[in-house]
Amino acid sequence: MPPSLTVRTALPSDADALAAYIAAIVAERLPVLFARDAPPTVEQVARMIARHADDARSALFVAVEKGAILGMLDFSGHARPQQHHVGSFGMSVARAARGRGVGTRLLRPLYAHAKKHGYRKLELEVFATNGPAIVLYESHGFVHEGRRRGAVMVGEEPVDLLLMGKGV
């Protein structure tokens, strides 16, 4: 794990760097992430940061090293009252930082945030073809709870989405 890496809540001043980070992820056209036609604008990213800042139960964490964003984790709680104890997240890591412990570092503040805000369960969806992410989540105690067969098309190929969860 890089010693100079810090993980913190995204700030309004991160909008430009976070937009550039997301644009780089989108440009990779990874077959293990949901595709986008275009990356979000800086203004859209600024609104996303503000939306998370305005909702104490959600969180947007960034992993930063030497001023560059190397990863992000976006967390939101479920809206239905009977599911307020459950939150879900998505995470990504920059190509150059994959396999260096950035994902683990992003998960740590998520666990603290979830406990602080009364969550009892964390959930995620991951492409069944994303082996490194699945190994990471399993190593953190996430278990397979379901499979949505053919839920995503990658080119002309259907790919399953795995549903994973963990108690907080």
Average pLDDT, the chain: 93
On the CB side of 27, CA atoms within 13 Å amount to 8
Residues 128-163: tens digit of each pLDDT: 999 999 999 999 999 999 999 999 998 899 999 999
Residues in the chain: 168
Domains of the chain: 6-167 (3.40.630.30)
**What gap in Å lies between CA 115 and CA 129, rounded to an integer?**
30
Residue 143 CB partners (closer than 8 Å, separation 6+): 164, 165, 166
User: Which residue do the tokens 């937009």 mark?
Assistant: 19
Residue 7: the pLDDT is 97
What is the reported pTM? Answer: 0.92
Confidence of residue 98 (pLDDT cuts 50, 70, 90): very high
User: What is the rounded distance in angstroms from the CA atom of residue 163 to the CA atom of residue 62?
Assistant: 24
Predicted local confidence at residue 155, as pLDDT: 86
**Residue 16 banded pLDDT, cuts 50, 70, 90:** very high
Where do we find the tokens 């809540």?
9
More confident residue, 4 or 94: 94
Q: Where on the phi/psi map is residue 69: left (φ > 0), alpha (ψ -120 to 50), or beta?
A: beta
